[in-house]
Amino acid sequence: MNNEQIEIKMATAPQQLVEVALGALNQTYTPYSHFPVGAALLTDDDTIFKGVNIENVSFGLTNCAERTAIFSAIAAGYKQFKGLVIAGRTDEPIAPCGACRQVMVEFFEPDMPIWLINDTGKEIQTTIAALMPGSFNALK
């Protein structure tokens, strides 16, 4: 991840979101990549939705943790969000893929905090505006 392209802030991720995202690492279905990712999405009323990556042998059908959390929240009727934590068992904080970034553009306010973390305590705070500058969104 190129930190020059990501706006970095030093605010710490909410501990409850961190715990949910890190706990989700043990609930992934990753028999092919062995690359677990967990996510925790905070709604406007402080409900937390957990997401895990779920792989498929047809890799294009795999769903990332971030999208699992977002889609679960949308399916439950939520449309307003306050924060997202994405966790991985990586040397550096994990960054979302392009597909997840595009979904975030659709559903998140540009300045909503997103925390990228690893399982050893490293953390970066950013926003979808910083992760996806010049993004396409027909609704906004």
pLDDT at res. 3: 42
DSSP 8-state secondary structure symbol assigned to residue 11: P
pLDDT tens, the chain, 140 aa long: 444 444 444 467 799 999 999 999 999 999 999 999 999 999 999 999 999 999 999 989 999 999 999 999 999 999 999 999 999 999 999 999 999 999 999 999 999 999 999 999 999 999 999 999 988 776 65
pLDDT at res. 13: 79
pLDDT at res. 12: 73
**Closest to 51 in 3D by CA, of 93, 88, 91:** 88
Could you give the CA distance from residue 69 to residue 115 in angstroms, rounded to a whole number? 14
Q: Is 66 a catalytic residue?
A: yes
Could you give the CA distance from residue 75 to residue 118 in angstroms, rounded to a whole number? 28
What SS3 class is residue 130? helix
**Closest to 19 in 3D by CA, of 54, 65, 50:** 50
E strands present in the chain? 37-43, 48-52, 81-88, 114-118, 123-126
Catalytic residue, candidates 7, 19, 55, 66:
66
| Residue pair 108/75 in contact by the 8 Å Cβ criterion | no
> Domain map of the chain by residue range?
3-131
Per the annotation, binding residues for Zn(2+) are 64, 97, 100
For domain 3-131, is the CATH number 3.40.140.10? yes
pLDDT at res. 98: 95
pLDDT at res. 140: 57
**Closest to 51 in 3D by CA, of 42, 60, 59:** 42
pLDDT at res. 64: 98
Per the annotation, binding residues are 64, 97, 100
pTM for this model (two decimals): 0.89
